[in-house]
Structure 1
Amino acid sequence: MTPHATGTREQWLAARIALLEAEKALTRRSDELARQRQALPWVRVDKDYRFDTEKGSATLPDLFEGRSQLLVYHFMFGPDYKAGCPSCSSIADAFNGFAVHLAQHDVMLTAVSRASIDKLAAYKRRMGWSFPWASSQDNDFNFDFNVSFTEMQQRDGAIEYNYRRGSHAMDIENAPEPVKQFAATCGTDAKTYTRDRPGMSAFVLEDGVVYHTYSTYARGLDGLWGMYQWLDRAPLGRNEAGPWWKRHDEYPER
């Protein structure tokens, strides 16, 4: 017999209606947070970033592809990786489905990583993805938006990530076991792996000028991680003791 609470349909309905009020309050709070994000001051981006794309060299304004808004997913794929981060890959699995809708709503979605465009294009083919992906291998974009770091920053505990400066959990000498495991699946070691971090940044283009409007990192990406939105509504929730996910082509057939 299940150890979970059971009850009649009437009892379930009463509990569900009470929960609905909490869900509605959370939705209203989420709407208010979205308004606060959109009210943040815009910061002009004057640096001339040059990216490599599958279509050739591109500037930051070029990445908008005619739209006025650009959402960048900072995908963990460093120049020394042999494959993209499994967590970022799990998030990116959803991009194909909604990128087309965003593009029709004046919003361009692209991923940006420090790996070479040849590596990114090959990994896209492996994963079956079609969304745009640009290489920032030859510019400071990742460093300027606090998702990539130098060996010196890592050694000196001078990393600024998720709006906090100093040592982070992934910076310690003996990295957590999941970090080591993910690093190994990317064909590198933990120190090299953690010199790149996940995040997303938003930009707007007005009168030929690009402005940075928003960035989020770490758990701030939860809302973009589609599988977790579903798991949070499953009977057992996330039900995890550590990382369990893999790249979608690495699961055993069931």
Structure 2
Amino acid sequence: MTTGRTGTREEWLAARIALLAAEKEHTRRGDALARQRRALPWVRVDKAYRFDTEAGEVSLADLFQGRSQLLVYHFMFGADWAAGCPSCSAIADGFNGVVTHLAHHDVMLWAVSRAPLAKLLGYRERMGWRFPWASSADSDFNFDFEASFTEAQQREGITYNYRRQAGFVPQPETAGGRATPEAQFAAMCGTDVAAYKRDRPGLSAFTREDGVVYHTYSAYSRGVDGVWGMYPWLDRAPKGRNETGVWWRRSDEYEAGSRRDAASCCS
């Protein structure tokens, strides 16, 4: 049984041309939003943040590596977690190719997490990634940019995505006999729900002029959808996102044959 609306080629073409007008308007609106982002006032960063990297301990300015712009993805990986967040991992799967192009266009892209560097690099090797990753384990960086929170903050209430949220209250970790999405993700990271929720996804942008670093932009929650590579593709697929729950896994955790194995279609 066909689930989509069918029609003639002529009907499809007429509808597609009408959709094209809406898509062009969406593109123009996106261009306008990008201009609004660039028009935000720059805020000088005077705090001396330190990061652990493969090159040793470095400053925020060092992360620029000679470029004038820096993009940081706040990758959810708590200090005591066994593995990184599956959602952040799906986003980071798209970084390998992009980081090279950005670096040749005056922009450095880094992932930054609170976990110790050795744990980050081990996970990066497991996932087959090459992009630069820094640990902010001994820094307030993630906390100051509202991507991580202390237990005390979590109890009292946090400000995330520019909105105040009430203090954390434990909720049932099962619904309808199944683990909730948060419980599933926490288990996949080797932690509990409370600890999982003390780290949040986000990205921050910085620029450096005359030796001074400025914070220019940050986005959180669905504000990072634009860098989640699989979703723009799904939004153009016949069934769209077609989500009824948590369906994605880390790229090395899908069961071979559970759906079509991605490698088999290219062999």
TM-score w.r.t. length of structure 2: 0.92
Q: For residue 108 of structure 1, what is the aligned residue in structure 2?
A: 108
Q: Name the CA distance, whole Å, in 2 between partners of 1:223 and 1:55.
A: 30
Q: Hey, what's the Cα distance between the residues in 1 that align with 2:124 and 2:70?
A: 20
Show CA shifts across 1:155-186 (max 9, x none). 12x21100011228xx3311661011100000
Q: How many residues align?
A: 251
Counterpart of 2:181 in structure 1 is: 178
SS at match of 1:139: coil
Partner of 2:56: 56
Superposition pairs for residues 111-122 of structure 1, below 5 Å? Answer: 111-122=111-122
Following superposition, the deviation at residue 145 of structure 1 comes to 0.1
- The one-character-per-residue Cα deviations of 1:126-158 (angstroms, maximum 9, x if unpaired) are 0011100000000100000001101111112x2
Amino acid at match of 1:159: I
Higher mean C-alpha deviation, range 3-12 or range 32-41: 3-12
Q: In 2, distance between residues paired with 1:243 and 1:225? A: 15
Tell me the CA shift for residue 222 of structure 1: 0.6
Q: State whether residues 175 and 190 of structure 1, in contact with CA within 8 Å, keep that contact through their aligned partners in structure 2.
A: no
Residue 149 of structure 2 corresponds to residue 159 of structure 1: no
Preserved CA contact (<8 Å) 1:113 1:142: yes
Q: What value does the CA root-mean-square deviation take over the aligned residues?
A: 1.0
What is the letter of the counterpart of residue 9 of structure 2? R
Residue 204 of structure 1 aligns to a residue in which SS? strand
Q: How far apart, CA to CA, are the structure 1 residues paired with 2:246 and 2:203?
A: 21
Asked if 1:198 corresponds to 2:195, the answer is: no
Q: CA deviation at 1:23?
A: 0.2
Q: What is residue 188 of structure 1 aligned with on the other side?
A: 191
Residue in 2 that maps onto 1:17: 17
CA distance in 2, matches of 1:25, 1:71: 27
Report the CA distance between 1:125 and its aligned residue.
Answer: 0.4
CA distance in 2, matches of 1:3, 1:31: 35
2:42 corresponds to: 42
CA deviations on 1:14-46 (whole Å, 9 max, x unpaired) are 000000000000000000000000000000000
Q: Distance in 2 between matches of 1:45 and 1:165?
A: 24
The share of aligned pairs that are identical, in percent, is: 70
Q: Which residue does the alignment assign to 2:254?
A: 251
SS across alignment from 1:115: coil
Structure 1 residues without counterparts, runs of 5 or longer: none
Distance 1:69 1:46 in 2: 17
Q: Deviations over 1:185-209 (max 9, x none)?
A: 0000000111110000000000000
Partner amino acid for 1:42?
Answer: W
Q: Which residue matches 2:33?
A: 33
| Off by >6 Å, runs of 4+ in structure 1 | none
Scaled by the length of structure 1, the TM-score of the pair is 0.97
> Among 228, 231, 240, which residue is 1:228 paired with?
231
